[in-house]
Amino acid sequence: MRREKVSENVIARLPQYYRCINELYDSNCVRVSSSTLSDRIGFSAAQIRQDFSHFGEFGQQGYGYNVRKLRYEIREILGLNSHNTCILLGCGNLGKALLQNFNFEDCGFFMVEAFDKDPAVVGTTIRGVEVSGVERLELMLDQDHPDMAVLTVPREEAQRAADILVEGGISAIWNFTGAEIQISNSDVVVENVSFADSLMKLSYHLNLKREETDEPVFLAGGRHLVKP
């Protein structure tokens, strides 16, 4: 499928569309209007129609979208039908949490192997995934060509690990380390999960709410009160 380049804002909304449409699909909904989608997701119906228009026509004016088709198309756009393989580097608490609880297959990724340097973890199996020693990593990259690596090593080891992965031909890195990794090969996709950015956004909204609450309340007649 050919398509135009779309903005990061549209791309960031796609997973939200997908989750919503997937729920409709699971509840056997056949057809949905952009206004119903709008009610469920919170974006305007016009916004939704405009976003979808970047990827071709999914619906018909006044008739709504076919849920099954729309779900399939969004899966295609997001690459969820691609059957990628992935590995995980760093089986500390965060790595373990992802291996045990996160459903990689729902996002089109099959977890094939995990790596750690701690002898206490190497040789164990976490939810069906074997943990190997890091000394096997380069051989594994060379032989099995996994598509993506989840990076959950300590922050100070992030760059060195990324260098090995890129050298080994990885196509994408999902970076949880909080470090900004430098990648020499611009074809490698890096997606950063920054907990700090997320918490700062929360902090911003919390701060704003307080300012709103502390604002003077203007009453009829020009008097004003400050809320306690």
Binding site for a second copy (CB under 8 A): 1-2, 9, 11-12, 14-16, 18-19, 77-80, 82, 84, 92-94, 96-98, 100-104, 106-109, 147-148, 154-155, 171-172, 174, 187, 189, 191, 193-211, 213
Task: Note whether 48 and 37 are within 8 A (CB).
Answer: yes
- Between 17 and 115, CB nearer to a second copy: 17
The residues near 111 (Cβ < 8 Å, ≥ 6 apart) are 85, 86, 87, 88, 99, 104, 129
- Between 103 and 143, CB nearer to a second copy: 103
Helical segments of the chain, H only: 8-26, 34-41, 45-53, 67-78, 93-101, 137-144, 158-167, 195-214
The residues near 141 (Cβ < 8 Å, ≥ 6 apart) are 164, 165, 168, 169, 170
CB of 58 to a second copy, least distance (A): 17
CB of 65 to a second copy, least distance (A): 19
- Between 51 and 147, CB nearer to a second copy: 147
CB of 187 to a second copy, least distance (A): 6
CB of 130 to a second copy, least distance (A): 18
- Between 116 and 147, CB nearer to a second copy: 147
- Between 69 and 155, CB nearer to a second copy: 155
Q: Which backbone phi and psi does 176 adopt, to 5 degrees?
A: -100, 5
Task: Note whether 149 and 165 are within 8 A (CB).
Answer: yes
Task: Note whether 178 and 199 are within 8 A (CB).
Answer: no
Amino acid at 150: V
Task: Note whether 88 and 129 are within 8 A (CB).
Answer: yes
CB of 34 to a second copy, least distance (A): 20
CB of 227 to a second copy, least distance (A): 12
- Between 24 and 148, CB nearer to a second copy: 148
Cα three-residue angle 219-225-228, rounded to 5 degrees:
135
